Amino acid sequence: MKQRLLFSVLMSLVLSFLMSCWVTWVNLGLSEVFVERWMNAFVLAWPAAAIISFFCGPSVQGVSQRMLSSKSLSHSAKNRG
């Protein structure tokens, strides 16, 4: 549980920091208020991203594992046939 919480906090930190930078830049360009608006967007995005990551992470991980296992099963069946 501690690892899941720490991973969610760190991953959401990185993603919200970079995505808020990107979206702010797309919307404003490099203006005199860029950093201020970026930091405001980041502060608003990070808590939401952390909560979403914590609660949705296990489901997304399960889906990705099923997708990879079904792909490897279909790939091995093609190789046998």
Average pLDDT, the chain: 91
| Domain boundary assignment for the chain | 2-80
Supply the pLDDT for residue 81: 59
Supply the pLDDT for residue 78: 66
Q: pTM of the entire structure?
A: 0.76
pLDDT above 70 covers a percentage of the chain that reads 86
Other CB atoms within 10 Å distance of the CB of residue 54: 16
DSSP string for 4-17 = HHHHHHHHHHHHHH
Confidence of residue 77 (pLDDT cuts 50, 70, 90): low
Supply the pLDDT for residue 70: 80
Do the beta carbons of residue 44 and residue 62 sit within 8 Å?
no
Q: What is the DSSP letter of 33?
A: T
Residues 6+ apart with CB under 8 A from 8: 50, 53, 54, 57
